[in-house]
Amino acid sequence: MLIFSLLLNPLLVIATHILQYLQKPSPNNSSKFIAPPLLHLPECLSIFNGYVCIYMWFYIQFYHLIPSLPCSITHHATNRPSKSKPFTLGLLHLFLLLYICANLHIVHAIYSDAAPITYLGIIPICLTAGFIVRPLLPLSSKTFPTGNVSFLPPHLPSDPIKHHDKLAYLSAWSSLHDHSKLHLMNFSPGGKLICIDSGATCCISNNHQDFITFSPSKNSVLNGIANGLKKRNSLLENSQ
């Protein structure tokens, strides 16, 4: 968008001059005329250019210069590197300059009879384009912090361990320390600790009295936090 807008300004000037040259009646061929759709080309280019300039101006001003708007939240949540403020200010000034130049060029072309008087309609359209385009922005551009929300303190090493491992470690620690005030997923109040694992392959119990019938089991692969429990058991066996 930025590059296209930067290229559109000189294209607008060139197209206006070409049409101005073609519109001049030639002494050799006075009946020469331009096809009507081509006459409206600079107007269309100007309108589109004004839309782009105003859109970028509003975007930069409201989403990059004011830190209290959700832009700062977005950059913080997604950890994307934000552009530096001098760079943004430079872009803003550049677009303002291009916008003023485009409007001055249109006014000058109209004043010198190089462009029809209908070109005056471009300027108010450019001025109000930002107010029209801004509400039409898609809501998806406003991203909110959704993922990567960690409830653990930042000083804890959390990179190599997955969430189900943390739950397994915490549950195992809680079961080994009866005096702890941590009640993690106490599914049966007053009863035993049962953890609801939505990713578990099947229910697992460590008490044989909970079973009505028994049958021999083959080797099976378990999903869910059982992976973490397996790791913890191996750690306990190694420590003993």
Partner 1 sequence: MGLRKGTLCWKILNDQGDEVELHDHDSLYVPSLPMDLLSPQHICQQTQHPDDGFIIGALMVIYTLPIISAPFSTI
Q: Which is nearer to partner 1, 43 or 197 (CB)?
A: 197
Residue of 215, 238, 239, 240 that binds partner 1 (CB under 8 A) = 215
Residue of 84, 112, 220, 238 that binds partner 1 (CB under 8 A) = 220
Note whether 94 binds partner 1 by CB under 8 A: no
Angstrom CA distances, 165 to 106, 147, 178, 220, 227, stand at 66, 19, 21, 19, 7
Q: Write down the least CB distance from residue 185 to partner 1, Å.
A: 6
Q: Write down the least CB distance from residue 93 to partner 1, Å.
A: 46
Residue of 77, 92, 222, 231 that binds partner 1 (CB under 8 A) = 222
Q: Are 163 and 151 in contact (CB under 8 A)?
A: no
Note whether 228 binds partner 1 by CB under 8 A: no
Handedness of CA 205, 208, 211, 213 (dihedral sign): positive
Binding mask 170-199 for partner 1 (x = CB under 8 A): xxx--xx------xxxxxxxxxxxxxxxx-
Handedness of CA 9, 11, 17, 23 (dihedral sign): negative
Note whether 136 binds partner 1 by CB under 8 A: no
Note whether 139 binds partner 1 by CB under 8 A: no
> Tokens at residue 54, please?
């105003």
Long-range contacts of 67-74 (CB under 8 A, 24+ apart): 70/142, 70/144, 73/144, 73/145, 74/142, 74/143, 74/144, 74/145
Return the C-alpha torsion angle 87, 91, 96, 100, nearest 10: 120
Q: Which is nearer to partner 1, 89 or 182 (CB)?
A: 182
Residue of 214, 221, 238, 240 that binds partner 1 (CB under 8 A) = 214
Residues that bind partner 1 (CB under 8 A): 151-152, 163, 166-167, 170-172, 175-176, 183-198, 200-208, 210-217, 220, 222, 224-226, 229, 232-233
